[in-house]
Amino acid sequence: MRKFIWSLFEFVETVVIAVVAVLLIRAYVAQPFLVSGSSMEPNFNNGNYLLIDELTYRFRPPERGEVIVFRYPNNPQTFYIKRVIGLPDETVVIDNGKISVAEANGQKINLAETYLSREYTIGDYEVELAPDQYFVMGDNRNFSYDSRSWGPLPSSMIIGMVRLRLWPVNEVMAFSAPQY
């Protein structure tokens, strides 16, 4: 009987440790995300299952071109996925679909967005970002509800960056920021 109780105790202990480990990893390191909608097509499709890295941004800020998951500023219960276009203290200018960024040091960058499958004819837009704001856009520019619609994204709303696509199996891959 003693042996049975000891075995049961070890089993319960193992289960508790596993559950605590999973909860800690999900809360502070990584979590799954299911893409809903077409705003990031063709790079991310409706139903893609992604792994979000929550740890990296504890050590460094987001970089231009990274795909992030964040809480929608007007409804924090809703999660969005978009690409970082503008960084804090920059000015983002969209002129007939072409995006340029004036960095805080005055240098101007014209973004060559090779990850887009085609050119988009989106309207003109200009915004100056505060020290804690980002400008984010979907890759499907004509059909994306993003910073052009609701304004800059506060850094406090960012959850993490997309690291892996896990589903569908034939599209499994790791992601990194493009070089502009």
**What residues are labeled active site?**
39, 82
Closest CA to 44 of 62, 67, 63: 67
Measured between alpha carbons, how far is 62 from 8 in angstroms, rounded to an integer?
Answer: 46
With contact defined as beta carbons under 8 Å apart, do 158 and 58 qualify?
no
Q: Name the DSSP class of 141.
A: G
Measured between alpha carbons, how far is 139 from 137 in angstroms, rounded to an integer?
Answer: 7
* Residue corresponding to tokens 């009987």: 1
Measured between alpha carbons, how far is 163 from 174 in angstroms, rounded to an integer?
Answer: 6
Q: Distance between the two ends of the chain, CA-based, in angstroms?
A: 68
Closest CA to 70 of 147, 122, 167, 149: 147
